């Protein structure tokens, strides 16, 4: 089979062998380089997503403090909301809605995401607004489920994973409930439901969630072109 090799001079054989070895080394180095490059790019994207969602969370925390310290004219805004709702107005357009701490957090992040070309969303199961609910069985739904399992086990409030089918990195940071959230998401009939109708100021049934628990997550999705 290799009889043709015997007809080639020794020097040509050496050159041929050297070329093959060089090619093999170049090939291995290239694939190691590409792998490292992809890993570094993925780590950088993960860090960027972590920093981005951390800012959304801190914007929410800051707004919660203002809300609890009554630095916002809550009563005045509530009266305005009631008047608008009586006329059939959309609660998401009200001034009151914009001051809800978690809404301040995600609105801030949405604006930054737009200017930075980042895909940012809020995702949640049992969502009040169905636009926040991930499609059942989707990659995002499974990731959120895994984040919730992780939270229940007490190990970490964020999770990141690459969807290889779309080459998209999805990063989620859980949204923690603090005292300010109880006004609407707390116990029906409790201290934040003085009229005892089981509904919050916007008319939603209160869920009886607890301070220290979580509801949904901030999500950043970044596509990358590395295979
Ligand atoms: C004044 C009432 C009110 C307060 C206070 C409030 N929320 Fe909500 N929350 C709402 C309403 C109303 C919605 C639905 C928003 C929409 O239609 O986009 C909502 C939606 C959400 C969502 C998006 C998922 C979904 O269910 O649609 C998250 C996450 C959330 N709230 C978490 C919190 C956290 C955490 C706090 C406290 C830091 C908080 N909320 C405080 C009324 C409130």
Mutate to test the pocket of ligand 1, among 84, 120, 128, 211 (most ligand atoms within 8 A of CB): 128
Residue nearest to atom 24 of ligand 1 (CA): 127
What does pTM read for this prediction?
0.88
* CA 91 to ligand 1 center in whole angstroms: 12
The residue ranges of every structural domain in the chain are: 41-177+212-223
Distance of CA 157 to the CA centre of its chain: 11
* CA 96 to ligand 1 center in whole angstroms: 12
Residue 1: pLDDT band (50, 70, 90) is: low
Mutate to test the pocket of ligand 1, among 129, 140, 144 (most ligand atoms within 8 A of CB): 129
DSSP state string for 155-179: --SEEEEEETTTTEEEEEEEEE--G
Q: What's the rounded Cα separation, in Å, for the pair 121 and 162?
A: 16
Our CA dihedral for 157, 216, 180, 110, rounded to 10 degrees, sits at 100
* CA 103 to ligand 1 center in whole angstroms: 7
Confirm if 194 and 180 have CB atoms less than 8 A apart. no
pLDDT tens per residue, range 137-183: 999 999 999 999 999 999 999 999 999 999 999 999 999 999 999 99
Predicted pLDDT at 8: 85
Contacts of 22 (CB under 8 A, 6+ apart): none
pLDDT tens per residue, range 200-217: 999 999 999 999 999 999
Strand order in the sheet with 158-163: 119-123, 214-223, 168-176, 158-163
Contacts of 208 (CB under 8 A, 6+ apart): 186, 187, 188
Predicted pLDDT at 226: 59
pLDDT tens per residue, range 13-72: 999 999 999 999 999 999 999 889 888 888 999 999 999 999 999 999 999 999 999 899
């Amino acid at each position: 089979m290799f009889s043709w090799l015997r007809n080639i001079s020794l020097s040509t054989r050496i050159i041929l062998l050297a070329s093959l070895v060089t090619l093999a080394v170049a090939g291995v180095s290239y694939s190691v380089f590409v792998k490292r490059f992809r890993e570094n790019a993925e780590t950088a994207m993960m860090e960027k997503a972590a920093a981005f969602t951390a800012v959304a969370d801190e914007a929410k925390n800051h707004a919660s403090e203002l809300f609890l310290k009554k630095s916002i004219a809550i009563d005045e805004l509530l009266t305005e909301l009631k008047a608008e709702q009586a006329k059939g107005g959309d609660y998401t357009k009200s001034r009151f809605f914009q001051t809800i701490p978690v809404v301040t957090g995600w609105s801030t992040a949405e604006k930054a995401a737009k200017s930075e070309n980042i895909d940012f969303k809020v995702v949640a199961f049992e969502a009040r607004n169905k636009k926040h609910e991930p499609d059942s069985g989707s990659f995002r739904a499974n990731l959120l489920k895994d984040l919730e399992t992780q939270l229940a086990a007490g190990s970490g409030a964020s999770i990141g994973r690459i969807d290889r089918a779309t080459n998209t990195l999805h990063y989620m940071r859980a949204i923690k409930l603090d005292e300010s959230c109880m006004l609407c998401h707390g116990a029906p009939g409790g201290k934040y439901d003085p009229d005892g109708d089981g509904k919050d100021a916007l008319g939603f049934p209160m869920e009886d969630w607890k301070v220290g628990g979580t509801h949904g997550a901030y999500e950043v999705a970044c596509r990358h072109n590395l295979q």
